[in-house]
Amino acid sequence: MQQRCKMTLWAGLSLMFFVAVSDALAQQQTLAFSSVDAPNANWYIAKERGTYKKYGLDVELIYIPSSTTTISAVVAGSVAVGNISGGAIANAAVGGASVVAVGCFINTLPYDLVVHESIKSAAQLKGKSIGISRVGSSSDVAARIFLKELKLEADKDVAILQVGGSTERAAAFRTGRIIAFPAPPGVIHLTHGMPHRILASTADFPKGFPFPYVCPTASKAFVKNSRDTMKRLLMALIESTHFYKTRKEESKKIMAKYTRHNNEAFLDAAYQSSAKLFEQVPLVNREGMDTQVKDAVSRKPGSTMKVDDIVDDSLVLELEKEGFIGRIYK
């Protein structure tokens, strides 16, 4: 009799688990990542490794170049969760979008300002063009920060051109369409011998540059109504981040597939730079987000938006308290 009760209990628990997972799988969720560059690799590594499925998620993962376009898709409802930077989140929210970042896997902007070899000083950039992906994107933020640090005025002293992602910017640089571009880790190796130099780097800023860069972001309604799904997504991304940080060659192979580049120097530099930046506990850097909020609010007179209006770290803190993150990184 006791054995029969145990079997019945086990069957009941198994059924409950099956139903829970089935519920999570019942509705496919569309996720979007905004760049194929190394800092975004945990999103597509989770897809390649089957990590989303491991945590009971049926995911359609799509690529939407730039955070500004991705957050528009989140606001429109065509994407459930997107990989979005702090600047794009703040700008959308101050414009009325009900969105929230639930975590952040990289909290700095790891960019170099690559210029043609003939540019030896900031003054020589005057009258020239810098290439970015889109206005409001991370590359746009980086370009404007670099120009400010160099005592130059964006759009006045130096034109800012929208030319596409990092590989497109490298191509535009090679053809001479632009004289400079902000480059994420490793991209400088895609200039294929074009004479260049690094005029500035966020790594050399005296106080660093705190910036919420790789942040899972969704509508507040989705986070409220699909909290379990959101938690499972964070679990998958945390595990894929650990994979990236600890499985170099396999991660580089997946990056090569998504970036469509087999340049070993590019892949190695991109990996090395990004691996040390990924957060083990992916909390949003409040100082960095506050800077983006203040910048967005300055262009919207009367806005009273605060960091807490667009950041909800509760699920990450929950996973940390439950010991999930510790088990992944043991």
| Contacts for 97 with CB less than 8 Å, ≥ 6 apart | 71, 75
Residue 24 vs residue 284, higher pLDDT: 284
Which pLDDT band, with edges at 50, 70 and 90, does 316 fall under?
A: very high
The least confident of 21-35, 42-56, 70-84 is 21-35
Which domains, and CATH codes, for the chain? 2-108+211-269+277-328 (3.40.190.10), 112-204 (3.40.190.10)
Percent of the chain with pLDDT over 90: 71
**Would you list the DSSP string of 19-66?**
HHHHHHHHS-EEEEES--SGGGHHHHHHHHTTHHHHTT--EEEEE-SS
pLDDT for res 201: 86
φ, ψ of residue 121 in degrees (nearest 5): -150, 160
d(CA 316, CA 282): 7
Contacts of 70 (CB under 8 A, 6+ apart): 32, 33, 34, 64, 79, 82, 83, 84, 88
Question: What global pTM score does this model have?
Answer: 0.84
Q: Where are the alpha helices (DSSP H) in 150-304?
A: 166-175, 220-225, 227-246, 248-259, 264-275, 286-298
Looking at residue 78, its pLDDT comes to 97
Residue closest to 101 by CA, chosen among 114, 84, 113:
84
Instruction: Give the residue among 307, 319, 317, 320 at the shortest CA–CA distance from 100.
Output: 307
Pairing outcome for strands 59-63 and 180-183: unpaired
Mean pLDDT score of the chain: 90
Please give the pLDDT value at position 31. 98
What is the per-residue pLDDT for 18?
41
Residue 165 has pLDDT above 90, yes or no: no
Which of 4-8, 61-65, 173-177, 202-206 holds the top average pLDDT? 61-65
For range 280-307, the mean pLDDT? 95
Instruction: Name the percent of the chain lying above pLDDT 70.
Output: 91
User: CB neighbours of 157 closer than 8 A, spacing ≥ 6?
Assistant: 125, 126, 127, 147
- The pLDDT assigned to 4 comes to 45
pLDDT band, very low/low/confident/very high, at 137 (cuts 50, 70, 90): confident
Residue 21 has pLDDT above 50, yes or no: no
pLDDT tens digits, 206-261:
667 899 999 999 999 999 999 999 999 999 999 999 999 999 999 999 999 999 99
Q: Which two tokens stand for residue 227?
A: 């909290």
Q: Look at 27 and 173; give whichever has higher pLDDT.
A: 173
Separation of alpha carbons 77 and 75, rounded Å:
5
Q: Is the pLDDT of residue 275 over 70?
A: yes
Q: Please check the confidence at residue 98 and state whether its pLDDT lies above 60.
A: yes
Under 8 Å between Cβ of 178 and 96: no
pLDDT of res. 1: 47
What's the pLDDT at 299? 87
Average the pLDDT over each of 15-29, 226-240, 245-259, 270-284 and give the range with the smallest value.
15-29
pLDDT at 79 (0 to 100): 98
Strand extents, DSSP E, 173-227: 180-183, 196-201, 215-219
